[in-house]
Structure 1
Amino acid sequence: MEDVRSQPIASTSSQLPPPTHTPSHDCPILVWMLSLNREATKEEYEACYKVVKECVAADIPYDPTSAESFRRCITQMLPLLMMRHRRIPRAKWKDHQTPTGKHWIEQAPEEMSPEKFLHSMIGYHLAYCESLCGMAMTQGTQRKVINIGIGIRRIEVEPRGITPRAYVESVSHKLTQKELELILKPENTDDVVLRRVSIVLTLKEAYNHAVGQPVGFDYSRLEFIVEGSHPSHGATDVSPYALGDDLPLQGWEFRLFKAQLGVARQDQLSQENYQCVCAFFRGTRGESRFVWYNSEKELENWVQFINIDQMVKVIPKLMA
């Protein structure tokens, strides 16, 4: 099974709707985002845990008091929801995994021609961050679909209370000198500093997920310069690019969007903002592309948002 992670970092040379504002390709992308907009009950945890235990090969320790355990369980249910949405029973598909942890789904070959079966593989990646879980997926040949990844990062400083510039300094070991210079420009407001560091770190996260890099990978080996790639950036003498080990990352597509959630915690409602990036290796020649999505209308053709209530409601159908 081919996986670009086994190659040098920079050499990585349907039934889904095509994405909006993007030329039609093979391997169109679909994303599901699940909002954990409230705390789950013990009964809901039990129901989700039972689904994962019976239908998913995921070793999650049982702990109904753990928010982390619930996040892991409900995120693992997203492929089940996606296949159910496609009206394919659980018995009619198998989940496979490469040695580097890249997942793809193989559907039962009955009533498929060999050519259709070859292009029916579904590659996907799961990720979560605090109150937002996500799944990015695409369909095509196995070789093409496995190199997809999603990055999700809350747009906030850590620890709370420090300035955005102090936060950037605390994560500077994950950034290159050029990235730091652009993020920390003297004229950048605190909001711009926080937004830009969130974008760069989420891009690196999504790329690493797409190629199957292990936890602990040195982010400073990657350089993402996105200034000038968005219309709001205005005139700039910097051309956007992506590097790995100082070599161009060619053939990659990076889709960037934000999610705003209203989250209820202990009878208090708060707003949480997240930066999201979907990375996919298209294998085309030339520089990598940054594609920005700035409104719900731009996202509606390829990103589906759901919440806990909607997921829990369909649990009986997921096990069919």
Structure 2
Amino acid sequence: MQSTQPVVPATNAPPAPAIHPNAPPPPNTPFHDCPILVWMLSLNREATKEEYEACYNVVKECFDLQIPYDPTSAESFRRCITQMLPLLMMRHRRIPRAKWKDYKTPTGKHWIEQSPEDMSPEKFLHSMIGYHLTYCESLCGMAMTQGTQRKVVNIGIGVRRIEVEPRGVAPRAYVESVSHKLTQKELELILKPENSDEVVLRRVSIVLTLKEAYNHAVGQPVGFDYSRLEFIVEGSHPSHGMTDINPYALGDGIPLQGWEFRLFKAQLGVARQDQLSEESYQCVCAFFRGTRGESRFIWYNSEKELESWVQFINIDQMIKVIPKLMA
């Protein structure tokens, strides 16, 4: 069922020219404010029953969640180990579990409130940690930021495997099967005759992941009608070459003002039943900075560009730190 919830555009400020990713940020954009960090967890192998139970018990003790116990379910394991990412984050910040509480808004947006002990009122006000969790097949993700509670909850992450569904179908046929999630303009740009199958698949993955990340950031419910959003990113990346199309984002035809979208890919080597395969994922982090002007699309094309704000870990690393997570 499709949702009739409003799209919640950030502001009604008049549209401004789109910003090229290589251009300097607009004046008064507080990039030092609410820094973004992302953790990506690779499920690069299958988990044992003992590992499942260890993760399940941690989540059961630390969070008020109702995850059915099922060691045979890959979905249940993904939910459990993804939920452990906030614990890992706080452990890295050397904040004991007893010194923070997890809250959420009526729309399900999470934030962490730390103990006000040994903090000035001003520091406490800006110590809230907003985060969002998601997963897709072999990749789990968490995006987080710190600042005031009002600001930090406006964060979301989208993760989507770059592949056709069902397997073996032609990319253009796949795009037609998801066309109800796309606008006419998006379809025209994705399906341009000169686009190769690889370009078609990559671009539809980018657009759908942008919509997913934005919906997560504003707390839209499952079933929201993606066609009410329009993301035109043609020309926002240097590889697109010369184009007369300015990149933009719309919700119900209204410009989405003040949003920052960070786009990157993740390549995983995954072992399944003694078979090693490579999987590619499109990832997008969406955050509302509240600045005037149209949304910014920022592309990250290498591990070096990501290393300052994205941390990649795997199952072994997470399992290894379990004894420390509840300390």
Would you say same fold, with TM above 0.5? Answer: yes
Distance in 2 between residues matched to 1:67 and 1:40, nearest whole Å: 9
Please name the residue that 1:99 is paired with.
106
* 1:174–1:218 CA contact under 8 A, matched in 2: yes
TM-score normalised per structure 2 = 0.93
Match of 1:162, SS state, is coil
List aligned pairs for 1:142-181, cutoff 5 A.
Answer: 142-181=149-188
Matched, 1:34 2:41: yes
* 1:9–1:245 CA contact under 8 A, matched in 2: no
TM-score normalised per structure 1 = 0.95
Please name the residue that 2:8 is paired with.
9
Structure 1 residues 177 and 45: CA distance shift in structure 2, 3 A: same
Match of 1:309, SS state, is helix
Distance in 2 between residues matched to 1:287 and 1:319, nearest whole Å: 42
RMSD: 1.6
Q: Structure 1 residue aligned with 2:258, among 251, 255, 262?
A: 251
**What is the deviation of 1:10?**
1.6
Please name the residue that 1:132 is paired with.
139
Could you give the per-residue CA deviations for residues 17-51 of structure 1, whole angstroms, max 9, x where no partner exists? xxxx9863200000000000000000000100000
**What is the deviation of 1:7?**
6.9
* 1:125–1:135 CA contact under 8 A, matched in 2: yes
Could you give the per-residue CA deviations for residues 125-155 of structure 1, whole angstroms, max 9, x where no partner exists? 0000000000000000000000000000000
Please name the residue that 1:18 is paired with.
none
* Aligned residue type for 1:251: G
Q: Give ranges in structure 1 of 5+ residues lacking alignment.
A: 1-5, 14-20
Match of 1:10, SS state, is coil
Structure 1 residues 229 and 161: CA distance shift in structure 2, 3 A: same
Number of equivalences: 310
Please name the residue that 1:108 is paired with.
115
Of residues 52-61 and 269-278 in structure 1, the stretch that sits farther from structure 2 once superposed is 52-61
Q: Structure 2 residue aligned with 1:56, among 63, 67, 70?
A: 63
Distance in 2 between residues matched to 1:233 and 1:174, nearest whole Å: 23
**What is the deviation of 1:58?**
1.6
Match of 1:128, SS state, is strand
Match of 2:308, SS state, is coil
- Indicate the percent of aligned positions where both proteins have the same amino acid: 88
Q: Give ranges in structure 2 of 5+ residues lacking alignment.
A: 13-22, 26-30
Match of 2:294, SS state, is coil
Match of 2:282, SS state, is strand
Distance in 2 between residues matched to 1:120 and 1:225, nearest whole Å: 35
* 2:248–2:295 CA contact under 8 A, matched in 1: yes
